[in-house]
Amino acid sequence: MLMQEFEALFEEVEFVVIAVVVLLLAYLALEHREIVYSVFFFGFMAASVAGFYLLLEAPFIAGMQIAVYTGGISALIIFGVLLLPRAQGSSLEVLQTPRMRRIGMILSATVMTLSAVLALVFPWSQSFPADRPPIAQDLAGLAAWLWGEHGIYVQLVALMMLTAVIGSVAILKMEKTEKLSPLKDRPGLGSRGKENEGASETKAHDEEHQDAKEAGTQ
Amino acid sequence: MIPLSWYLVVAFVMIGLGAYGMVTKRNLIRILIGAEIMGNGVNIALVAFSLYNPVFSFTGQGLIILVISVTAAHTALALVLMLMYQTRYSTVDLGEPVTVEARKSD
Amino acid sequence: MCRNGVGAYPKPQSIDGWYSSMRLFIDFVPVLVWALLAIALVAIMLLASWVLRPHILQNSDKTSSYECGEEPVGTAAVAFPYSYFLYTVLFVIVDVMGAFLWLLSVSPLRISEVIVWQTFVFVVLIVLGIAFALHMLPQTLLDGKETLRLYRESKAAREQHDSGVQV
């Protein structure tokens, strides 16, 4: 009995430590003056949230969180900071008006109060977890759920990745963003298509004229 | 056993922090970081709910996997839009183009 | 998590009384120790280099860039080509694809026929996107010229067939 109490206390200590680390890193990620530090704190915060997922007995999601968030999204944002030299100056936050800060505080305080009411007053304690199968079965079961029963969502995720790549290529190659003009250049990296484009455009014109003539005579 | 409300409190505090960051900050990158913090809070809430469930099911974990991958694509596109914002307005400040336009019309 | 006898899950016999192997978090504490060691290693390397460096003032003339005798104005930041950003986006896409495929690889489902075809479609869709970004799709396919040619050929074949039937 003493061992079980010790284990329960240990679990609560782990939870509190991870929660404090996560919230501290999140606050630092938002409030630090330098942007590069802020992005690194965000990367560390994502790794600590993976610790939360381990407490919640989801090992695959913990691994995926570290791989995608810290390894992918954090690197993306750091690359974005590299590409935007104006973002690296730390003087932008000095121009904040106190009105904006007050609105932000009121909004987030409202959100947090309403959800604290939801979290602490609602009788969540009436739902208890059932038996957990061991972890090796968990991964096979999760794969069966995702790829077996709900395989269509995996294909939807593939389509979404396709859309993200094509969209980012298209937006990066736009000449004038306010006019949203179509792509002038061949999509993709580099501009190798420029010599072929003149010839192919005239050919396309001729073919269109031919089609119109055919449609006119019939 | 840790009661569910503890996890929910942490998740909602993170959502509140993310909301505060998105509303208050002027730098575009910080706004994106605020959005990501909000997304992480939502994910924590989802995984907590999937564990504290009277019937055992993989729905929570599978949903989280899909949500994380969709968030990754969404962040990539958000950053590309920021690059275009920088190209058009040559600043990364969110309020600056509005103030410049307003001052021009005075 | 301590179960107070709610279900019929058998408690494993633990060697010493206080270690319970049912909790996932304890299994991952070695990972945490390894991560702390890695951070400590990096910190020690940086500290050692800071100790061994000659100390120069930040704003002295020795550390400023040389501009043929003129005073340097502004930073030396070069405009980074935006197209390099695409590689990072491609990395995130491939990372997500790898996470899905890794989930499949540890399950016994990976050899069932339906799942193999689903995986094929998944990989082909993502590889199509990557091929588009890396310039590997033929331009005629992207412009719609292939479809135009196929349409014209099928229209000619249909007309021939119709005229053959009428005659």
pLDDT score at C12 = 44
Please report the DSSP string for A39-72 in residue order.
Answer: HHHHHHHHHHHHHHHHHTT-HHHHHHHIIIIIII
Report, as an integer, the average pLDDT of C5-28.
50
Contact C92 B72 (CB under 8 A): yes
Q: Where are the beta strands (DSSP E) in B1-106?
A: none
Those residues with Cβ within 8 angstroms of residue B48's Cβ, 6 or more apart along the chain or in another chain: A56, B4, B7, B8, B11
Higher pLDDT, A41 or B48: A41
Give the CATH number, domain containing residue B100.
1.10.287.3510
Cα–Cα distance measured from residue C17 to residue A137, given in angstroms and rounded to the nearest whole number:
26
Q: pLDDT tens for residues B72-103?
A: 999 999 998 888 888 777 777 776 666 666 66
- Please answer yes or no on whether C109 and A147 come within 8 Å at the CB atom: yes
- Nearest-Cα distance to chain C for A132, in Å, is 8
For B27, the 3-state DSSP assignment is strand
Amino acid at A194: K
CB B56 within 8 A of CB A145: no
Q: Do A162 and C126 touch (CB under 8 A)?
A: yes
Q: What residues does each domain of chain A span?
A: 1-89
DSSP string, A100-124: HHHHHHHHHHHHHHHHHHHHHHS-G
Give the number of domains in chain B.
Answer: 1
Task: Give the pLDDT score at A179.
Answer: 54
Structure tokens at C156: 């000619």
% of chain A at pLDDT higher than 70: 66
Q: Which residues of C touch B (CB under 8 A)?
A: 1-2, 82, 85, 88-89, 92-93, 95-96, 99-100, 103
- Residue C84 to residue A169: CA distance in whole angstroms: 11
pLDDT surpassing 80 at residue A185: no
**CB spacing of B76 vs C82 below 8 angstroms:** no
Gap between the Cα atoms of A34 and A25, Å rounded: 14
User: What are the φ/ψ torsions at residue B27 (nearest 5 degrees)?
Assistant: -80, 135
Convert the pLDDT of each residue in C48-102 to its tens digit.
999 998 877 766 766 666 667 666 666 656 666 777 888 999 999 999 999 999 9
pLDDT value at residue B36: 95
Rounded to whole angstroms, the Cα distance separating B27 from B91 reads 9
Residue C38: pLDDT over 80: yes
CA distances from A12 to A9, A19, C1 (A): 5, 10, 10
Would you say A56 and B48 are in contact if contact means Cβ atoms under 8 Å apart?
yes
Reference C88, options B76, A167, A186; nearest CA is B76
3-state secondary structure (DSSP) of residue C58: coil
Task: Quote the pLDDT of residue A25.
Answer: 95
d(CA C74, CA C72): 7
Distance from CA of B76 to the nearest CA of A (A): 7
CB proximity B98 to A under 8 Å? no
pLDDT for the residue C11: 42
Residues of chain A in contact with residue B52, where contact means CB-CB under 8 angstroms, are 124, 127-129
Scan for tokens 């006898």, then name that residue: C5
Residue C13 pLDDT? 43
Q: Which of A54, A73, A139, A208 to mutate to test the interface with C (most CBs of C within 10 A)?
A: A54
Contact A165 C133 (CB under 8 A): yes
Query: What ipTM, to 2 d.p.?
Result: 0.88
Lookup: tokens for A34: 């330098």
- Taking CA–CA distances from A211, the nearest residue in chain C reads C152
Q: What residue numbers bound the domain in which B35 lies?
A: 4-105
SS3 label, residue B71: helix
CA A22/CA B11 separation, integer angstroms: 10
Cβ distance of B80 and C85 shorter than 8 Å: yes
Average pLDDT, stretch B2-16? Answer: 86
